[in-house]
Chain A
Amino acid sequence: MSPLARFLLLRLLLIPLTLLVVTATLMGLLTAVPPQVRALLYLPKRALDNVFELNMDELRQVTDRYIQLHHLEDPFPVQYADWVVSVFTHGGGYSPTAKGDVFDALLRRTPVTAELTLYSLLTFIPLGIVSGLRAGWKPGGFLDKCFRIGAYIATSLPPFITALVLLGIFYVFLGWFPPGRLGTAFSQEVLSPKFHLFTGLMTIDSLLNGRLDIFIDSVRHLVLPVVTVSLLYWATLSRIVRSTIINERRKEYLTAARARGIPEKRLLWRHALRNVLSPALSSSALAAASLFTGIFMIEIIFDLKGVADLVVHASSVGLDVPIAMGFSVYAICIILVIMFVLDVLRAILDPRSREGIIYDHTR
C-alpha cells in the first residue's frame, strides 16, 4: 500500500474512534441521572408533547416501558450500545422543541450554517496565508507592522462586539448589509413551490433558478457575518503563517535558491509557500472546534436561522435532552470531517506528514 493510502486509511479509522471516546464519556456522565429521568432521551412524540397533560401514573407506565426497552438499568456497555443503535434507527430521538426527529431538524437547518462556514473558510484561509507570508517575509518592515497592529485588533475584538459595530455602521447608517438571511419578500418567495431548492445554499440555488435578484440579496445578507467570522480567524491563522515563514526564511534551501538567481517573488510564492502550508493546515485542523463555536455565535447574532438558533432555543425552552445529545454527535461529526479534509490536504501537499505519526498536529 502506498504511504498516502495507508495514511488515509489510518486517519479514517480515527473518526469512529474519536466519536466513540467522546460520546461514551458523555453517556457515562449521563448515568449519574436516574433512569426515570434519563428515559427522556427515548420517549416518543406522544409522551413528550403531552408531558403536562399525562397524569403521573400514565407517565410512569410509559417511562418504565422505555427503561425496559432501552436497557437503562443494565450495565453501561449495554446501555451505550443500545443508545448507538437508537441513534441510527430513531434519528436521534424525538425533540419536543423541534417537533421532530433530532437529526431531521438539524439537517434541515444545516445549509444555512454550511453556507456561512463555506464562504468564511474561502475568505479567511487564503487571506490568512497571503497576509502572513507577506508580513513574515520582511519582519519589522512596513507591511509587517501594519499586519501586527491589524492582527492584534482582530484578536482582541470579541465577535459579538465586532458584529455590533459592523451592524451599526453598515446596516443602521449605510443600510447596505441587513441581518437575517433574505429580505421579507424574497424569503416568502423562496418557500413557494415555484422556487426549487437544490442544495439549500441560497447563493447557489438562486443562480440555479436563474434569479439574479435573489442571489444579490442573499450575498448582501452574508457579507457581514462572513466578515466577522473571517476577522476572528484570519488573525490566528496568519500569525502562525508569519512565524513559520520567519523561521523558514533562514533555511538553506532558500539561500541556495536565491544564490542561483531565482527572483524573490518566485522564492516566496513557490518555494516558501509550500512549506508554510503544512503548519497552517494543521493549526486550522486544531482550531476546527473553536471555529465551529465562533460560527454558531455569529450565526445567532446576525439572525441567520441555522442550526445554532434551533439548538440554543431548544436549550432555553426547557428539558430537551435528545437535542443536546444529537447536537453533540452532529458537532463532532462535522468537526471530524473538517479535520479529515484538512489532514488529507496536508498529506497531499506535504509528503513528510504521511510518514510520521498519524495524529501529530503540533509536534
Chain B
Amino acid sequence: MTIHDNNQWHDQARIKRQPALVRNASTWLGALIVALFVLTALAAPLLAPPDPNVEFSTYRDFGHVIQSGPLQPQPGLILGSVTDPANLHQLDIWYSLVWGTRSALRFGLLVVLFTGIIGIVLGGVSAYLGGLSNTLIVSFTDAFLAFPVIAGVIFFQQFILMLIRSTGVSVYLNSQWALPDSPTRWQLFLAGVDPLLIAFIVFSWMPYARLVNSVVLATRQEEYILASRSLGAGPLRLIFRHLIPNSISPVIVLAARDVGYMVLLQAGFTFIGLTHSSEWGVLLSLGRNYVIGPLGDPFTWWWTFLPTTLAILLFGVGWNLLGDGLNKWLDRSQS
C-alpha cells in the first residue's frame, strides 16, 4: 500500500509542465464554437436570405410537394427539407437552422442578462444590508428554488393568455388567437411576448443571487471596503462601485454556462410540444418522425435530424467549454 503522493504541489507542478496552448485548448475550442454561432447569427441574412415577397418568418415554406417524405439536399435547398405533418408542407432546414441560431443566441443572452441583473442586485443588496433583511431576501430566494421552471412556463403561458383575453380578444382551441384589425400597442406587445422567456427569467435568477450574496458577504469586511466607507462612501457607491464589481467574475462564469443550458432547455421544451419558441426544437421534433427510414435504415433521411442535433449539441458544449475555461482562468488569476 502506498501513501498517495498527489498532493497539491505535485498537482500544480504537473499542470505547469503542459504548454499554454494545450492547457487552454478546450477553452479556445469553446470560444471558437461560440464565435462560429455568433457569426452565423450575425450573417443570417447573407447565409439564408429571406424571401422579400413574403412576410418575414424564421421558417421557409418550400411549398406543398406531393411526395412521401422529405426532400433531399439540392441546390437552393442546402440541407434538404422536412415535412410538416400538419399541412404536408416542406420546411427548409438550412434556413431555419441559421435563423434559429439568431433566436437561440438572443434567447440565451437575454435570459442570462436579466437573471444576472436580478441576481446581482438582490444578492448584493441583501448581503450589504445584512441582518434581518439578508435573512428575508435569502429565504425568498430559497423559496423560489423549490419551484420548477416547467410549472413556471405553464403559469406564464396561461397568464399571458389571460391578459390577451382581457383585451377583448377571444382565445380559441389550441391556444390560437388572432389580433384585431387595428390592434392597440398593448395587444401588439402581448403578441410578441414569449412566455418561455419570462418564465426562464423569473424562475432562474436564484443561483446568481446566492452566488453574489456569498461573495459579497465574504468581501464586505475587507480593508479596502472599510477604507472606502471611512472616506465617506455611501451605501449605493459601496454596493455598485466596489462590492458588485468585485464579485462579478464568478457571475460571468455561471452566465457563460447558463447561455448554453437555457437554450438546450428551451429546445427541450419545444421538443416536447410545450411551446414553439425554439426553431431548433421545432426542427428536431419534426425530424424525429424520420429517424427510422424504410427497412429500418436510420440514415435514409439523415438531413432531417442530424444537422439540427449537431447544432444543439455544439451550442451546449461550446458555452460549457467557454465557461470552464473562464473558471480555470479565474482560479489561476486569484491564486
| Chain A residues at the B interface, C-beta cutoff of 8 Å | 17-18, 21-22, 26, 29-30, 32-34, 36-38, 40, 138-140, 155-161, 164, 168, 172-173, 249-250, 258, 263-264, 286, 288-290, 292-293, 296-297, 300-301, 308, 311-312, 315-321, 323-325, 327-328, 331-332, 335-336, 339, 359, 361-363
Structural contact, B146 and A332, CB atoms closer than 8 A: yes
Task: Tell me which residues across on chain A come within 8 A of B8, comparing CB atoms.
Answer: 250
Stretch binding the partner chain, chosen from B38-46, B48-56, B162-170, B227-235: B162-170
Closest to B314 in A: A156
Interface size on B, residues (CB 8 A): 61
Partner of A335, one of B139, B146, B214, B313: B146
Contact A158 B171 (CB under 8 A): no
Shortest A93–chain B CB gap in Å is 12
The reply to whether A172 and B273 contact each other, CB–CB distance below 8 Å, is no
Q: Is B150 an interface residue (CB 8 A)?
A: yes
Give the contacts of B209-237 with A (CB-CB under 8 A): 210, 214
| 8 Å CB contact of B267 from A29, A158, A293, A332 | A158
**Can you list 8 A-B contacts (CB < 8 A)?**
A138-B6, A158-B313, A172-B296, A297-B272, A318-B174, A318-B175, A319-B165, A324-B151
Chain A nearest Cβ from B153, distance in angstroms: 8
Question: Are B268 and A22 interface neighbours, CB within 8 A?
Answer: no
Name the residue in A26, A33, A264, A315 with the highest tally of chain B Cβ atoms < 10 Å from its Cβ: A315
Given known A-B contacts A296-B150, A335-B147, A359 and B139 have beta carbons under 8 A apart:
yes
Closest 3 CB pairs of A and B: A21-B143, A324-B158, A292-B148
| Contact A319 B171, CB 8 Å, known A33-B163, A293-B150 | yes
Bound-state Cα–Cα, A157 to B320, Å: 12
* Cα–Cα, bound, A139→B159 (Å): 50
At the interface, is chain A mostly helix, strand, loop or mixed? helix
B150 with A40: CB separation less than 8 A = no
Is the Cβ of B272 less than 8 Å from the Cβ of A18?
no
The docked-state distance in angstroms from the alpha carbon of A161 to that of B173 is 30
Which of A158, A324, A325, A335 sits near B264, CB closer than 8 Å? Answer: A158
Shortest CB-to-CB span from A96 to chain B, Å, is: 11
Which of B243-251, B284-292, B326-334 makes up part of the contact surface?
Answer: B284-292
Closest to B298 in A: A168
Q: Is there contact, CB below 8 Å, between B272 and A289?
A: no
**Contacts A18-B146, A292-B150 given: A160-B161 contact, CB under 8 Å?**
no
Chain B, 262-307, CB within 8 A of any chain A CB: 264-265, 267-269, 271-274, 284, 288, 291-292, 296, 298, 305
Given A140-B6, A160-B268, are A318 and B148 also a contact pair (CB < 8 Å)? no
* Cα distance A29–B195 in the bound complex, in angstroms: 14
Contact A301 B272 (CB under 8 A): yes
| CB-CB under 8 A for A362 and B214, given A17-B143, A18-B142, A318-B172 | yes
Residues of A within 8 A of B269 (CB): 297
Residues of A close to B305: CB separation below 8 A: 164
8 Å CB contact of B271 from A18, A156, A160, A362: A160
Given A33-B159, A308-B150, A331-B147, A156 and B272 touching (CB < 8 A)?
Answer: no
B4 at the interface (CB under 8 A from A): yes
A293 touching B148, Cβ below 8 Å:
yes
B240 at the interface (CB under 8 A from A): no
- A321 CA / B164 CA spacing, docked (Å): 13
Q: Known contacts A18-B146, A33-B166, A138-B4; is A316 also within 8 Å of B175 by CB?
A: yes
